[in-house]
Amino acid sequence: MTEVSASILTVEKDNATQMFYDLEVAKINYFHIDVMDGKFVERDTTSTMKDYALTISHISNLGLDVHLMVENVEEFMDEYLMLEPEILTFHIEATKTEERTKNIIEQIKDNGTRVGISISPDTDLEKIKPYLSQIHMVLVMTVVPGKGGQKLIPETLDKVRELKNYIDENGLDIDIEVDGGINKETAELAKEAGANILVAGNYLITAENLKEAVQSLK
């Protein structure tokens, strides 16, 4: 079954609450929270995303799918674990050492939260293989992290395919999430490649009919 995680990165403050309601009514599965620290990526969305995540946790029962694009993973992990998200994802490019990566995985798990590791387009799949048996999800970035509304990089779907094969061959039980440039057409390709959770920002937020847009991804 395919699940849809709505990226609220480009939602305007003025109509944010209404948009969150509309997304839930349109049957998304998660709210995708893009936390950017101005260091790991250029933009800084820390205060807006904190606001949005708090609002959502007050008005919705849907799970938060938190995507940390930050250097100081520990700091933001602590901050977001307090909101009891469904999934907390950090970037393998940010943690660098094996000891640190394992520590973060353990801390997220201790909180009863599902652990995701994200991998940017230029990073080799080998980098995350040692952790696959310990995590719940891999977030394959299908664009360079940093902003919404970009075009999906086709080569990233080869990575999804390779990952899916590796997961199946090793009898692992891990979700594959894709993020960036997902629309009706690219969703089809991503699912074919092996993804089962699709993040969509621009495609949903600008849709005329949200229900149909969510349905078209599933």
Residues that bind ligand DX5 (CB under 6 A): 7, 9, 32, 34, 67, 143, 145-150, 179-182, 199-203
The C-alpha angle 163, 114, 210, rounded to 5 degrees, equals 80
Based on the residue annotation, tell me whether 158 is a catalytic residue of this protein. no
Out of Zn ion, ligand DX5, none, which partner does residue 116 contact, by CB within 5 to 8 A per kind? none
The pair phi, psi for residue 104, each rounded to 5°, is -65, -45
Q: How far is the CB of 49 from ligand DX5 (least distance, A)?
A: 11
Q: How far is the CB of 145 from Zn ion (least distance, A)?
A: 7
Out of Zn ion, ligand DX5, none, which partner does residue 202 contact, by CB within 5 to 8 A per kind? ligand DX5
Contacts of 73 (CB under 8 A, 6+ apart): 90, 91, 94, 95, 100, 104
Out of ligand DX5, Zn ion, none, which partner does residue 149 contact, by CB within 5 to 8 A per kind? ligand DX5
- Lookup result for tokens 């991804």: 217
Based on the residue annotation, tell me whether 110 is a catalytic residue of this protein. no
Q: How far is the CB of 6 from ligand DX5 (least distance, A)?
A: 9
- 67: contact with Zn ion by CB under 5 A: yes
Out of Zn ion, ligand DX5, none, which partner does residue 201 contact, by CB within 5 to 8 A per kind? ligand DX5
When CB distances to ligand DX5 are compared, the closest residue is 201
C-alpha of 4 from chain center:
10
- The secondary structure of 191-208, three-state, reads HHHCCCEEEECHHHHCCC
Scored b (16 or more CB within 10 A) or e, 40-74 reads bbebebeebbbebbeebbeeeebbbbbbbbbbebe
Q: Which stretch binds Zn ion (CB under 5 A): 16-24, 34-42, 58-66, 86-94?
A: 34-42
Tokens of 66: 């938190």
Out of ligand DX5, Zn ion, none, which partner does residue 200 contact, by CB within 5 to 8 A per kind? ligand DX5
- Selecting among 22, 34, 78, 122, the annotated active-site residue is 34
Q: Among 37, 65, 177, 179, which residue interacts with Zn ion (rule: CB under 5 A)? A: 179
Q: Which is nearer to ligand DX5, 72 or 133 (CB)?
A: 72
Which letter does DSSP use for residue 3 in this model? E
- 136: contact with Zn ion by CB under 5 A: no
User: Alpha helices, DSSP H only, in 111-194?
Assistant: 156-169, 184-193
Tokens of 79: 């901050």
Q: Which residues bind Zn ion (CB under 5 A)?
A: 34, 67, 179
What residues are annotated to the active site?
A: 34, 179
